[in-house]
Structure 1
Amino acid sequence: MKDIKIIDIRHMRGPNMWTYTPVLEALVDIGELEDCPSNLIPGFYERLSAALPSLIEHRCSYGERGGFLRRVQEGTWPCHILEHCTLELQALAGMPGGFGKAREMSDRGIYKVIVTCWHEVVTRAALASARELIMAMIEDRPFDTAAAVDKLKRLADRHCLGPSTAAIVGAAEARKIPSIRLLPGGNLVQLGYGARSRRIWTAETDRTSAIAETISRDKDLTKTLIASCGVPVPEGRLVDSPEDAWEAAQDIGLPVVVKPYDGNHGRGVFIELTTQEEIEAAYKVALSEGSGVIVERCIQGAEHRLLIVGGRLVAANRSDTASVTGDGKHTIVELIASQINSDPRRGTTEEHPLNLIRIDSAARMEIARQGFTPESVPPAGQEVMIQRNGNHAFDVTDEVHPDAAAAASLAARIVGLDIAGIDLVCRDISKPLAEQGGAIVEVNAGPSLLMHIKPAVGKPRPVGQAIVEDLFPAGDDGRIPVVGVTGSRGTTQVARIVASLLSLSGKWTALASSEGIYLDRRLAEAGDRTGFEAANRMLTNRSAEAAVFENGYDVMFDQGLAYDRCQVGVVTNIDPQQHIGRSYIEEPEQVFSILRTQVDVVLPTGVAVLNAADELVADMARLCDGEVIWFASDATLPRIVEHRAQGGRAVVLIDGVITLAHGEQTTPLLAAADVALLAGDAGETDNVLAAVAAGWALDIPAYVLRTGVETFDLI
């Protein structure tokens, strides 16, 4: 029977043997299909290209548009097709780009398929859908691509970051600032590591105070505070009944606005009300949307949303009005569908910058004021207003007058918000507010960024970048010193010594090792804690000023690394026979590919600490983006001699003394005989040398290195 069977799936959550980003690695059995490349399946190419035409954009090995489909036409195997279809289904669901590979294993018909994993749930579903699609094409039966993509979109909406958070995280990644999602299905994200980290939740940060947010929800209090500092606001007050609302309107002067005292998203807001009937009806609806009602003077003009970040205007949008023109044949409801909601920019997803217009209570009142009902058929040529202030979808950032920007900035500062959405009403945003009677009507915490990222008209604004720049000034990458230690032996001891050296240097240090979790030299949790979860906990510990991780082979093989980059990566040694035999790992080169990940992630400003006496380890030097410090008991090894001749660094034994060698210079540290740890096992000498090299790479002073090694107590 011809089938594609997914035997096992491994989720690698961090840098791994395949790539720097999270992936799914699927072990796949294609059985009899090993004898059926795509060119031998009648009609397969035509059916696949029709079912998923966007595959034309996949360049594949030919490096040109249509390259992958050319491979399909010429003949390729199902797992290669599975890789590309999985990536394309994810792209159609809103997660474009990514990494993919398909690798044949030693058993006939067995492959590993590796694809970028934006979210495990979503990518697993994409992989399953891709398999179903391919089998349908092989068996010449229908496959509903649109339904499959729609399902993936819904999963992505539920599990992936929202647009505001994603914009900030994307801007952080562009600055090489790491991120950690703190809630699997939410938008709480940490940027940076340990004590240097900051946290965001959509458009709120750890600088957004609860008091400021509470003030912003109280519209009357907000107006009182900002008005006292000279910010123009509309006259108005809280009312407690429909009759009181009408009385307030008469005192203020018609027309007025009636709105909830603590509502949001524009629900229950009625503008330009002029009659007692309208005002009393609006009161009842507004009350249902909040805990109280405000009546205030109606400011003439359009509503604008100004985004203030760190006291600076970074984006501004104008709201739109929505109206229909009668044709004497169709009802207002039908005209809304044909003239407004047919606009492809309108919809219910994050891909649509404009919302669908619905007949809610505010729209019904607006239509009634013009003498119609939603079921009325307006005369030909008659314009009927449906919504006076809708989406803030028209970018006007470059038009904002400095006076308006200054007023918005002051309002945000008075309320106390680091990120604020300021709602400002005026006729012309390019002119001073005073000369046109403009005013600020609301100050919002946690404003949506989508309107600025994807405006319906105008250019997108780099609002995520502005927030990241406010959180992390130039030169701040949010990183603490991170040290990763891997190899076949000695990794626990090296990690323990390095953590001890960091602590002695004055840094609050977190350590995750096979012996447990140590927090500032205190054993907080015993047992093997070399997994991804334990390391992740260390990186999210905001007390940590440095972190050391022992990364065992199995963890790197199964899960990948918990950090994106590190300051120091240590590889003690490689014994391929210790690791060969699991999941088609059969050659020393495969073991090398897994353990090399530790060197791949060393920062350009960082250091790889490598065993000069181990040929496999030594071969990793060419992969390091940063500096290499060798360690070895034999100072006369050719690669050490050559490295020093080129001005490089090494930690070696010279006449029984642990020595820091930098070019031609040597700095004796202490005699190996004075290190209690080295009294027995000669193998531990390499461990001490590796730890000293890591400490040197971290700029720990020589006297601290000496004291730390001399006094280190493994027990």
Structure 2
Amino acid sequence: MERPDPGTEIRMVSLRSLRGANFWSRRPVTRIDMAVGAYDEISSAEVPGFTDALVAAFPGLWEHRCSIGERGGFVTRLRRGTYAPHIVEHVGLELQSMAGHDVGYGRARGGDRPGEYTVVFEHLHGEVGLRSAALALEIVQHAFAGELESVDYAVAELEALARSPDFPALRQQVFCGITGGGDRGAVRDEMLRRGIPDEELIVDVAPAYLLNAGLPYSRSEIAIILDTELLDVPDRYREEDRAQQLVSVVADAVPRGGIVVVPAKEWEVQDRVRDAGCRVAIFATDDDVTARDALLAHAVAMVRDGRIVFECCGSTTDGGPLRTDEPIAAQVAAALAMLSLEELQPALLRADAPAP
């Protein structure tokens, strides 16, 4: 039976390099979004000679354990039948290995729209990662067409790219990164009002930016997660578990033992932050902080009788009155963040900071 042309059915939708910590990994990754058309239903097992041709071109695929967890695992998957996005992932990794780069992390998942897939894999050199993704797509097209031969040309191109300068590594350090679907700008304004000396030291990281580019800095003293109600990302990333995973990325830039400000009752996010090695500070827009919130929290900020109240290290202190010109969540989260910064880096704040 004649199969649809893989050169037109399997195509790239977008290609990008994520330099900072991201939804998939703390390491830099290459992301290729692809559409597969009719090949959503056509596996490697349905194309005569597919596996033999691919393994002949890439003998190193025998070392890919894949989900089977043993040498030859990916080859077994090929023989049983797997699909274009998964194959692009492994070919992209193996191309880099053949060019001399020791990489191993990759994922292939459902994409932002029906019929699309997102493939990510680790890279050591940004340009090599991007070109590996494009070449992997091309090679998989040839394999499904039954036209795959030598890939020496691809390896030679990547080896040459590997000798060229890479994208500069992220080196920016900031006081605070803020993410979530709430009013991040209001939090930023409140922190400036409370004494942050330079607006460039507070970074508003939109969830969509975080998803598509990763963190734009390498380190932050603290981080703030306002909520998990994300409106600027595709539907699949608004689902509870993915939204929690996405906003928790800001914890990856906070030093171990550092502090991340998280809403009360966002227990899964709190756990993710602790798993990243950070302490959690909890904020609420009322005084409804549960025992589960308070049990492991380094500090708590809540609202009582129109004022912000802090509980930390067994003592209760006043954080000042609420104002009517900014959202309550922004004021409480910013106040708690400033309390945390004063503990961690008191010398970094202005000596003449205004009173709350």
Q: What is the TM-score normalised by the length of structure 1? A: 0.45
Could you tell me the percent identity over the aligned residues?
A: 25
Residues 141, 670 of structure 1: CA spacing in aligned structure 2 closer, same or farther, 3 A cutoff? closer
Structure 2 counterpart of 1:659:
309
Letter paired with 2:129 = T
Give yes or no for the alignment of 1:69 onto 2:82.
no
The answer for the alignment partner of 2:299 in structure 1 is: 649
Which residue, 557, 560, 568 being the options, matches 2:214?
560
CA contact (8 A) 2:93 2:104 kept: yes
Show the 5 A alignment for 1:194-209.
none
Aligned to 1:217: none
Report the counterpart of residue 122 of structure 2 in structure 1: 116
5 Å matches for 1:212-361?
none
1:320-376 Cα shifts (integer Å, max 9, x gaps):
xxxxxxxxxxxxxxxxxxxxxxxxxxxxxxxxxxxxxxxxxxxxxxxxxxxxxxxxx
**Higher Rg:** 1
Q: Does 1:679 align with 2:324?
A: yes
- Whether the 8 Å CA contact 1:497–1:709 is kept in 2: the answer is no
Unpaired segments of 5 or more residues in structure 1? 162-179, 182-189, 194-479, 504-508, 513-546, 673-677
| Paired position in structure 1 for 2:250 | 598
* 2:347 pairs with 1:695: no
1:14 is aligned to 20
CA 1:93–1:645: 2 relative to 1, 3 Å? closer
Quote how far apart the aligned CAs of 1:653 are.
2.1
Mapped contact 1:23–1:116 kept (Cα < 8 A): yes
TM-score by length of 2: 0.85
Q: 1:586 to 1:59 in 2, by over 3 A?
A: same
Q: Is the 8 A contact 1:13 1:22 kept in 2?
A: yes
Q: Specify the SS of the correspondent of 1:603.
A: coil
Q: Tell me if structure 2 keeps the 8 A contact 1:644–1:664.
A: no
Partner of 2:5: 2
Matched, 1:154 2:160: yes
Q: 1:659 to 1:484 in 2, by over 3 A?
A: same
Amino acid corresponding to residue 312 of structure 2 in structure 1: H
Task: Name the Cα RMSD after superposition.
Answer: 2.8
Match of 1:58 among 39, 56, 64: 64
Aligned length: 343
Distance in structure 1 (CA, Å) of the matches to 2:351 and 2:36 = 58
Of the three residues 196, 199, 207, the one matched with 1:511 is: 199
- For 1:619, the equivalent position in structure 2 comes to 268
Cα deviations across residues 236-255 of structure 1 (Å, max 9, x unaligned)? xxxxxxxxxxxxxxxxxxxx
- Give the conservation status (yes or no) of the 8 Å contact 1:650–1:661: yes
The alpha-carbon deviation at position 705 of structure 1 amounts to 10
Q: Hey, what does 2:106 align to over in structure 1?
A: 100
Alignment CA distance shift 1:129-1:646 (3 Å): closer
The question of whether the paired residues in 1 share the 8 Å contact of 2:195 and 2:353 is answered with no
| Structure 1 ranges of 4+ moved more than 6 A | 704-707
1:484 is aligned, of 152, 172, 177, to 177
Letter in 2 for 1:648: H
Match in the other structure for 2:204: 550
Distance 1:67 1:643 in 2: 43
Structure 1 residue 108: Cα displacement: 5.4
User: SS where residue 199 of structure 2 aligns?
Assistant: strand
How big is the shift at 1:599? Answer: 3.0
Cα deviation per residue 1:473-513 (whole Å; 9 max; x = unaligned)? xxxxxxx663111121221121233245454xxxxx4434x
* Counterpart pick for 1:579 among 226, 229, 232: 232
Return the structure number with greater relative CO, CA threshold 8 A, min gap 6.
2
Q: Aligned in 2, Cα 1:570/1:134: closer, same or farther, shift over 3 Å?
A: same
* Residues 9-55 of structure 1: per-residue CA shift (max 9 Å, x gap): 23322111111122222121122222221112111111111110011
Question: Structure 1 residues 83 and 665, CA, compared in 2 at 3 Å: closer, same or farther?
Answer: same
Distance in 2, Cα, partners of 1:143 & 1:653? 68
Q: Is the 8 A contact 2:319 2:335 kept in 1?
A: no
One-letter amino acid of the counterpart of residue 218, structure 2:
D
